[in-house]
Structure 1
Amino acid sequence: MTYGVALDSSSNTLYVADYGNHRIMAYSSGASSGSLVAGGQGIGLNKTQLYNPSTIYFDPPSNSLIIANRYAHNIVRRTLSDTQWTLIAGSTNGTNGVSSTLLNSPFGMTLDPMGNVYVADTSNHRIQLFMTGELTGITIAGTTGVRGNDSNLFWAPYAVALDSQLNLYVADRNNNRIQKFQRY
């Protein structure tokens, strides 16, 4: 089962989050088979393993993949020239929670041009913003641990996107809606 894809337009390499096999695969343009670039060591929490990677983002300036590592409850960066990931948000030991430093089953994420990471913290029903280099997040939409269908609540936000004005769009899965939030 795959969920996320990211394209490196300079090399025409497509990266695929192979959710059920706990790995990221790379496919060159025209290739009939892919190559392993991250994970593939079974389910786990060590820095060479992934645990249901759901969304990936290719970051050209750092030549790295940003990965929503869903059931490890974190967001990690895997520089393509390295063999291990580094933590961007969440925990390194699989702990989930509601504090500003923890995530609970993050499914979707994106980056803005400054490198800040926006996370759909799915089971906490909130959107967390992690400023570049910070491990403490800021809740910018939703209410931690409270699900609902009011305009200020989510019920399992799954995906986030930014437009050119940095307005935030959220796919609110169990409410069957897309919500737009003006730039913060």
Structure 2
Amino acid sequence: FHQNPSKSINIPNETGKNIDHQNNISNQSTSNIHIVDKNRSETIEALRNPINDHHRSINNAKKQNFIEYCCRCSRRRALMSFITLLYIILLGIILAIILIIIMRKTKKTTNIPSYLRWNTSGITVFGTAGIRGNTSYQLAYPCGLVFDSFGDLYISDSVNNRIQKCNIRNLTCTTVAGQANAVSGTNMSYLHGPTFFYIDTNYSLYIADSTNERIQLWNYGATYGNQIAGITGVTGSGLNQFHYPYGIAMDPNTNTIYISDYNNNRVMKYFPGNLTGTVIAGG
């Protein structure tokens, strides 16, 4: 719809007057055409431009399509984010399970029987409280205590001149070195006042036979021992003598024996098969 500047357009208004002159018609190419009454200075009618209506409908359709596209993209992104989160959580759970399994395999757990757990009031497991005795379930001045790999407890029953092996599960004891009747002596099947001892990987006993002034090796299952250091019944300060040997330890890598020579105020070192030792501390 174009304005013709050489012609005037007369449009009757409500009062029967004409609206005359082309300047009364304003052409807005991008919106509507407004017809204005000069005398009343107000808009009388707006003529819609059909081309603009068409363009507007196209623009509205494009806007609607864009909004729908954005909504679809947002839903898709939300779904992908949710799936990614689930994947991360699942991966974390799997890694945690693997870590727990590895830790359980590498961790060494020692199951301690309930009757060996710490009790602040104390319980008697072997011997009779306040009473000396030489029966299999009694002790007299117990000194050294050592567990073997099976969980059995070895006790040097000093005044009873023997080494007792005690089963902590059924609370029974048997004599594995010395005499079960608590008799002392100097021959190889006897002990006299044993104090401390050592158990090697073969369950052989290295015993400080203190009152006999010697070290006895008592092999597993044997009924007598072998003298490996000291002189039976002889007290002295020579390198082959003791004056009440007390503590004993062994280096498992070299089988070297270390003896605390109590009354000589020294620690002696003995190599395997050598009856003469060296002073490594004191003396």
- Higher-helix-fraction structure: 2
Offset of 1:183 from its aligned partner?
Answer: 2.5
Q: Distance in 1 between matches of 2:171 and 2:185?
A: 28
Matched-pair identity in %: 31
The residue type equivalent to 2:142 in the other structure is P
Alignment counterpart, residue 267 of structure 2, candidates 173, 178, 181: 178
Change (3 A) 1:12 1:171: farther
Equivalent residues in 2 for 1:103-142, closer than 5 Å? 103-142=191-230
The residue type equivalent to 2:224 in the other structure is T
- Higher-strand-fraction structure: 1
TM-score computed with the length of structure 1 as normaliser? 0.82
> Are residue 100 (structure 1) and residue 200 (structure 2) matched?
no
> Are residue 10 (structure 1) and residue 110 (structure 2) matched?
yes
Offset of 1:93 from its aligned partner?
Answer: 1.4
Q: Distance in 1 between matches of 2:111 and 2:198?
A: 21
Q: Distance in 1 between matches of 2:122 and 2:147?
A: 17
Offset of 1:135 from its aligned partner?
Answer: 1.4
1:54 counterpart residue number: 143
1:20 counterpart residue number: none
Q: Distance in 2 between matches of 1:54 and 1:79?
A: 18
- Structure number with the bigger relative contact order (C-alpha 8 A, sep ≥ 6) is 1
Alignment counterpart, residue 28 of structure 1, candidates 111, 114, 117: 117
- SS of the residue aligned with 1:36? coil
- SS of the residue aligned with 2:215? strand
Size of the aligned set, in residue pairs, is: 162
- SS of the residue aligned with 1:136? coil
**Mean Cα deviation higher: 95-104 or 77-86:** 77-86
Deviations 1:100-153 (A, max 9, x none): 000110011110111000100000000000000001100000010111000000
Maintained 8 Å contact 1:58/1:64: yes
Maintained 8 Å contact 1:45/1:51: yes
Offset of 1:68 from its aligned partner?
Answer: 0.3
Offset of 1:28 from its aligned partner?
Answer: 2.6
Maintained 8 Å contact 1:112/1:166: no
Offset of 1:27 from its aligned partner?
Answer: 6.0
Q: Distance in 1 between matches of 2:122 and 2:110?
A: 18
Alignment counterpart, residue 84 of structure 1, candidates 168, 172, 193: 172
TM-score computed with the length of structure 2 as normaliser? 0.54
Runs of 4+ residues deviating >6 angstroms: none
Deviations 1:24-44 (A, max 9, x none): xx8635x42322211125200
Maintained 8 Å contact 1:78/1:85: yes
The residue type equivalent to 2:133 in the other structure is G
- SS of the residue aligned with 2:172? coil
The residue type equivalent to 2:136 in the other structure is K
Offset of 1:12 from its aligned partner?
Answer: 6.4
Superposition RMSD in Å: 1.8
**Mean Cα deviation higher: 89-98 or 141-150:** 89-98
Q: Distance in 2 between matches of 1:100 and 1:67?
A: 19
